[in-house]
Each structure stands twice: as C-alpha cells, then as structure tokens.
Amino acid sequence: MALLENLMFVFVAGFITALATGLGALPFFFFDDISDRYNVVLWGVSSGIMLSASTFGLIDEGLAEGTPLEIGIGMVAGVALVVVAHDILMDAEIDPRQYEEADFKKLVLILGVLTVHSFPEGIAVGVSFADLGLEGGAEVLGFTVPLLAVFMTIAISIHNIPEGTAISIPLQSMNVSEWKMVWWAVFSSLPQPLGAVIAFGFVSYAREFLPYGFGFAAGAMIYLVLTEFIPEALDIGKRLPSGGKPELAGGIVAGVLVMVPLAFI
C-alpha cells in the first residue's frame, strides 16, 4: 500500500511539471505575438535551468551514490537512447494542424516524438524521488520528500514553460484558440509523469542502479540542451543583432543563477 501511495505521489509531481507546460501558452491570452528576442531569452533560461539541474542536482547526487564511472555509463546510455529515438522518429515531420484530425498512426507518431523530448525529464523527476519517505527530506502532504526531488520538480516545471510557448507559437499562427493551445502544451509533456513513475519504481527496487539512473537522466537532458534547445534558440534569433547570441547567453546565465541557490539549500 505504501508503494502505491508513493507511486501516486511521484505521478502527481510529474503531472505538475506537465501542467507547467501549459503556462507557456498564457501570454497568448494577452498578446497576439511573442517577440523573437523574448523567445530566445526564454530558451536560454530553460537551457540554463536544465544544465544546472543536471550538474548540481543529478550528477552531484549521483556521485554521492556511486562512482564517476557509473555516472558516465549512465550518461552515455541516456544520450544513446535520445539519439536512437531521434533516428527512428525525427525523420517524420509533425504538422500541428493535423493534431486534432490525427488518425491512429499519426497519433502514435506524435506521442513518440513528444516522448523523445519529455520522457527523459520525467525520468529525472522519478530518479530524484528515490529517497522518498526517508529521513532528511521536507514534509509535503504527509510525505517526507527528498530536497533533490523538490529541486528537480521546480527545475523541470520552470523549464517546461518556454517549451509550452514554443509549441503555442505555430498553433497561434493557425488561429487555434488559446485554451486549445494550453491543452496541446500540456499534452506535449504528458510522458513526464509516466517516466517519473517508471524511473521511481525501478530505482526503488534496484537501488544499486541509482547512480546509473542519475547519470542517464543527466546525460539525456544535457544532450537535449546542446542539440535541441540551443540550436532552436539560435534559429529563432538569427534575425536579431549578433544572431541572438547575447540574448541566449543572458538567458542561460539567468537560468543558472535562478537554480544554483536552490541546489545548495
């Protein structure tokens, strides 16, 4: 019974991170457009948060649980999974206009693409809850929650906001209603609570693999930042002075500065 309650609690934490993606669509309730400069800064902030969470959260905690070699093996496995998934799925172009009219095959493809991006973040949340119920955490709704789990849940939630904005921009240009943009933004992160539950369940039963789990999540997220988030920001900012690089760098620094203090609380 305790395990089921813990799984439900971790699912709720993962679902909170998914709901945060919907916040990225809220600016479109008040503005017709989002400037490229603002968008680049948001991607920079998101990148800084993910790098901080991976380095000061997952890798640091992993080193406390295992050896650098174990962390390194986990990181390589995390990168490999994302690379393989991209090779399988990313050749297919997903048009947001087809979301609501998707047939079964298209829906499976959409879910697969979303999982490539969202699942590693869910794993990061789930692994961070490995010490759920043990001493030394914060009391939340009767559960003793590891401080790392609080840190990772906040980090992934903040990171998801610009992802929601990025998803909403093409939908807004096609006159999709604001509330539907919120829905599709949240929908894009629904693999996260599933990944969180799977990762938590695995490391709960096989704690000897916990260092590999920390490395896996960190490797996957760092790889996504370097190959997806930063290139996306630079592509958006290519019409800006200096190609948007100052805005991107400023956003990354801001993201790091936001999360570093939390890492040491």
Which residue from 235, 256, 255, 237 is spatially nearest to 246, judged by alpha carbons?
237
Q: 92 is written with which tokens?
A: 């297919």
- Helix, strand, coil % in the chain, rounded to nearest 5: 80, 0, 15
85 lies in some domain: yes
Q: Is a pLDDT exceeding 60 seen at residue 235?
A: yes
Neighbouring residues of 74: CB distance < 8 A, sequence distance ≥ 6 = 62, 211, 212, 213, 214, 215, 216, 217, 218, 219
Q: Average pLDDT of the chain?
A: 81
pLDDT value of residue 105: 53
Range of the domain at 150: 1-22+46-263
pLDDT value of residue 261: 75
pLDDT tens-digit series, residues 152-164? 898 888 888 877 8
pLDDT value of residue 136: 64
Rounded to a whole number of angstroms, the CA Rg of the chain reads 18
> Residue 91: which pLDDT band, with cuts at 50, 70 and 90?
low
**DSSP symbol at 100:** T
Q: Is a pLDDT exceeding 90 seen at residue 249?
A: yes
> Residue 117: which pLDDT band, with cuts at 50, 70 and 90?
low
Q: Is a pLDDT exceeding 90 seen at residue 139?
A: no
| 3-state class (DSSP) for residue 238 | helix
34 lies in some domain: no
> Into how many domains does the chain fold?
1
pLDDT value of residue 73: 94
Min mean pLDDT across 31-35, 106-110, 149-153 is at 106-110
pLDDT value of residue 113: 58
> Residue 252: which pLDDT band, with cuts at 50, 70 and 90?
very high
- Cα(25)–Cα(104) distance, integer angstroms: 26
Interval 5-24 mean pLDDT: 90
Interval 102-129 mean pLDDT: 68
83 lies in some domain: yes
Percent of all residues in the chain with a pLDDT value above 90, rounded to a whole number: 13
38 lies in some domain: no
40 lies in some domain: no
Q: Which residue has the higher pLDDT, 131 or 126?
A: 126
> Residue 76: which pLDDT band, with cuts at 50, 70 and 90?
very high
pLDDT tens-digit series, residues 181-204? 888 888 888 888 988 998 888 888
37 lies in some domain: no
pLDDT value of residue 75: 93
41 lies in some domain: no
- Cα(170)–Cα(110) distance, integer angstroms: 16
pLDDT value of residue 90: 56
**Residue type for 198, please?**
I
Q: Which residues pair with 139 in a beta bridge?
A: 144
Q: Which residues pair with 140 in a beta bridge?
A: 143
**DSSP symbol at 209:** G
243 lies in some domain: yes
Give the predicted TM-score (pTM) of the model. Answer: 0.79
